[in-house]
Amino acid sequence: MHILEAKNITKTFGGLMALNNVSFEIKENEIFGVIGPNGAGKTTLFNVITGFHKMDRGNVTFRNEDVTGFPPYILCKKGLTRTFQIVKPLKEMTVLENVMVGAFLRTNDVEKAKTKAQETLKLMGLQNKENELAKDLTVPDMKRLELARAVATDPVLLLVDEAFAGLNTGEVQMLINILRRIREQGVTLFIIEHVMGAIMSLAERIMVLDEGEKIAEGTPEEIQANEKVLEVYLGTKNAKTHPPG
């Protein structure tokens, strides 16, 4: 069963074609990755799927419902939520309070929200920092807090935008383990990532964008052997001369 279907997603900003007829499907409970150079359209894709930007053309189906153009808060209530590449915690609130904000999507009961937040912090390995102010966290812990706040909303599909950026090898492996545990709880993951080692070990399927176009899709092994992908990443193509995907 496909939990998400995107068809012919097209988005322009003025004269810039950010996304050009991008189509793909994500299976329920899989980890689906999207990679591509800077400016390829990855975050724009997240923005149009989650309702932050209005697409020019195309449609998005989530759990067999056409949700094209739905605002972010409605999509979040339906179980489609996201993290952001640039984390923005509520700095003057504690770690626990930050995650409770996410939990309040599903309940108005303070104790239930607190319990949900504490369970989520344990999943993230942040249970010992629940009383610290968010502004005092390290960058790796802020990234886990960003993820925790999204997970506390009880998503069925979680879009993760470059969570591994700036992490060292040990921190990357810790986050890989956390994402796998999230998937084990029945959450489908859609991940944008630049850290190739992380996405290649995590994702079952990967889509590659370049200059707003889909140029490849397949297993990590297929992507690593794909000539178009190698051209993009090794710099052996002439700008704007590759055939569209």
Q: What is the DSSP string of 84-109?
A: -SS----TTSBHHHHHHHHHTTT-S-
Secondary structure class of 34 (helix, strand, coil):
strand
In angstroms, the CA 164 to CA 51 distance is 24
Provide the percentage of residues in the chain whose pLDDT is more than 90.
Answer: 86
pLDDT at 241 over 50: no
Mean pLDDT of 96-106: 97
- How large is the C-alpha radius of gyration of the chain? 18
Banded pLDDT at 1 (limits 50, 70, 90) = confident
**Which own/partner contact pairs does 174-177 have at CB distance under 8 Å and 24+ positions apart?**
174/125, 175/143, 175/144, 175/147, 176/201, 176/202
The CA-based angle 215-212-230, given to 5 degrees, is 35
Q: Start-end ranges of CATH 3.40.50.300 in the chain?
A: 1-79+157-245
The pLDDT value given to residue 239: 40
In angstroms, the CA 154 to CA 134 distance is 21
CATH number of 1-79+157-245: 3.40.50.300
Mean pLDDT of 228-245: 60
The pLDDT value given to residue 245: 32
How confident is the prediction for the chain on average, in pLDDT?
93
Banded pLDDT at 233 (limits 50, 70, 90) = confident
Six token digits for residue 42: 């990855």
Mean pLDDT of 92-117: 97
Mean pLDDT of 40-64: 96
